[in-house]
Chains A and B, each alone.
Chain A
Amino acid sequence: MLVSLLSIAITLLIALLIAKPVGIYLANSFNYSNKNKLFYPFEKLIYSISGIKNKNQSWKVYASSVIVINAIMILLVYLIFRFQGSLPLNPSKIANMDPSLAFNTAVSFMTNTNLQHYSGESGLSYLSQMIGILFMMFVAPATALAVAIAFIRGLSGKSLGNFFVDMVRGIVRVLLPIAFVTGLIFVALGVPQTLDPTVTATTVEGGKQNIAVGPVGSFLSIKELGNNGGGFFGVNSAHPFENPNAMSNLMQILLMLLLPMALPFTYGKMVGNQKQGRILFVSMTMMFILFLGISLSAEYQGNQAINALGVQHDQGSMEGKEVRFGVAQSSLYSVVTTASETGAVNTMHDTLTPLGGLVTLSNMMLNTVYGGVGAGFVNVLMYAIIGVFLSGLMVGRTPEFLGKKIEGKEMKLIAATLLIHPLLILGASAVAFFTPLGHEVISNSGFHGISQVIYEYTSSAANNGSGFEGLGDATNFWNISTGIVMYLGRFFSIVTMLAVAGSLGVKRTVPETIGTFRTDNGLFAGVFIGAVFIVGALTFFPVLVLGPIAEHLTL
């Protein structure tokens, strides 16, 4: 156990050490005056082919660009999925996807969710995997990264920039180079990268077994780096071809954390005060360590009901876990994948202990313990503003954030953003429980069944995409309902938070005085964490009591 905990400590230490340099690199990458000699020629070529002009956009034009370009891409990819059976690069003769599943998959990948109601190796042709899925795995995180950068620019009183330029820069300077290098490393570690069809092998008993292969290496790197999470194989990173050994597992965890951990430092650099970013980073890391500690403790203690039968449980709860990774790396992976809203899994979350499941749910409900690339950090800044606003109310001063006065109109937009997340999760879950189409596919009765449904919609609304499994969700009802939840969970907050950025961006900066509530010290860290937990707990605690907490207490 000590060695396992040491491996976790080393993993997190590496992640912490690389966060700041990557954050600074991100800030420089989105600085328009930075014409990098290596990347700028490629960008210039893309701009000239596509007619992109680097003109500043108002928040409305920026948001409209995000909505329209994403809508077009969803439609195009939907068509690829619907006609994949007749399109090239389909050596395994995979049939066209059903309409509702194609809708769910297109929305899922374009919203950076990667919720999968199909098995990649048997549901998608190579063309669909490479042109549809892989394409969206770059564009979706680049979109969120662009929105986060625009939001930070607005907070620091600058113009929001140009969405198309930001998206191109995000892909060319950040996602492509890192994904290319790490993709090669994954292939060197034993991950397949081939366009050959499924291999048919003869087993020792003389039977035939189909072994799926494909361009997994290139898929895997952007899956983790972009906090996408969709697996090439149905069992995701529990599959030996998608996660062959301890080193590939370490690489995946580091890639998942890379951009979410770096963004606070990008923020600090862009607003000209590294303390601002550092305090948010420290706050999020404290919450992350708290959740990781709960998960590890629960998983090492194992299932109390099984322990009571006298079954040897020295290794902790190994149900649903890969023996190659054990409890420590499985718990760490489950906490990282939900904290970073990636959604990749190397263990089945349905078989986590109730408290282990509670941690994964909480990460997605709060969506601020690092959060997914871009969108998660915008959420973090939203909670920071809420903290400042509440503190202002308590001392009777007009709240200020980075020298900008927070007024009713910003809080109106933030309140709408804050409410949509629980409304989507709890509203959709209520509909699922109420209708036979929803509750008839729940495979567990009692409290665990509640957790299954809540998890599915929480994962959708937070754009995480991991599945609790055990839910028969490949039906029209689940495909359409989770598709709508994923879409609104993604784009509602993008629109409203860009409006907040636009509103704050045009305000003059108020000089700091002795009465200004500082947002770069320990007190603010407490206010921020308090705002996250109080708002999160108030909203989701009742449903958590009905699900994982009740299950834990009745084991």
Chain B
Amino acid sequence: MLDVIMVLLMIGMPALMMGLAKWSSSVVDEGSVNK
């Protein structure tokens, strides 16, 4: 059981970071005054 939780964590945390990358991308794509 603990193995399953650990594997889920090891997959879930990178997935969270990919979500963070998506959010960061939306921030970067905001309008710039100096492109």
Contact = CB atoms under 8 A, between A and B. Distances in A.
Interface of A: 59-60, 63-64, 67-68, 70-71, 74-75, 78, 82, 98-100, 102-103, 106-107, 405, 407-409, 412-413, 476, 480, 483-484, 487-488, 491-492, 495-496, 499, 502-503, 506-508, 510
Contacts of B35: 506-508
Interface residues of B, number: 23
B21 A100 contact: no
28 contacts: A63-B24, A64-B18, A67-B14, A71-B13, A74-B10, A75-B7, A75-B11, A99-B2, A99-B3, A102-B6, A103-B9, A407-B32, A407-B33, A407-B34, A409-B30, A484-B9, A484-B13, A491-B13, A491-B14, A492-B17, A492-B20, A496-B20, A499-B24, A499-B25, A499-B27, A507-B32, A507-B34, A507-B35
SS class, residues of chain B in contact with chain A? helix
Given A409-B27, A495-B20, 5 more contacts: A63-B24, A99-B3, A409-B28, A496-B24, A499-B21
B9 A483 contact: yes
B18 A413 contact: no
A152 to B, nearest CB: 18
B6 A71 contact: no
A476 B2 contact: yes
Of the candidates B2, B6, B20, B33, the one having the most CB atoms from chain A within 10 angstroms of its own CB is: B6
Interface of B: 2-3, 5-7, 9-11, 13-14, 17-18, 20-21, 24-25, 27-28, 30, 32-35
Contacts of A487: 13
B10 A100 contact: no
Contacts of B3: 82, 99
Given A60-B21, A407-B33, A496-B20, A75 B27 contact: no
B33 A405 contact: yes
A495 B25 CA distance: 10
Contacts of A508: 34-35
A11 B25 CA distance: 44
A362 B11 CA distance: 32
Q: Please name the 4 residue pairs, one residue from A and one from B, whose CB atoms are nearest each other, closest first.
A: A499-B24, A71-B14, A99-B2, A103-B6
SS class, residues of chain A in contact with chain B? helix
Given A409-B30, A508-B35, A68 B2 contact: no
Given A78-B10, A103-B6, A502 B28 contact: yes
A64 B9 contact: no
A412 B21 CA distance: 14
A495 B23 CA distance: 10
Given A476-B2, A487-B13, A67 B32 contact: no
B24 A488 contact: no
B13 A510 contact: no
A376 to B, nearest CB: 20
A68 B14 contact: yes
Contacts of A63: 21, 24
Contacts of B2: 98-100, 476
Given A476-B2, A506-B35, A508-B35, A67 B18 contact: yes
Contacts of B10: 71, 74-75, 78, 103, 106-107
Nearest to A405: B34
B33 A67 contact: no
Nearest to B6: A103
A64 B21 contact: yes
Given A492-B17, A499-B27, A510 B34 contact: yes
Of the candidates B5, B10, B21, B25, the one having the most CB atoms from chain A within 10 angstroms of its own CB is: B21
A508 B33 CA distance: 11
A192 to B, nearest CB: 33
Nearest to B32: A407
A98 B1 CA distance: 12
A70 B17 CA distance: 12
Given A405-B33, A480-B9, A483-B9, A67 B27 contact: no
Contact of A413 (B7, B13, B17, B24): B24
Contact of A495 (B7, B11, B21, B33): B21
B24 A67 contact: no
Contacts of A491: 13-14, 17
A70 B32 contact: no
B6 A78 contact: yes
A511 B14 CA distance: 40
A272 B10 CA distance: 40
A503 B28 contact: yes
B14 A60 contact: no
Nearest to B11: A71
B6 to A, nearest CB: 4
Nearest to A492: B20
A99 B6 contact: yes
Contacts of B34: 405, 407, 507-508, 510
A344 to B, nearest CB: 26
A71 to B, nearest CB: 4
Nearest to A74: B10
A495 B17 contact: yes
A336 B3 CA distance: 37
A409 B32 contact: yes
A502 B25 CA distance: 9
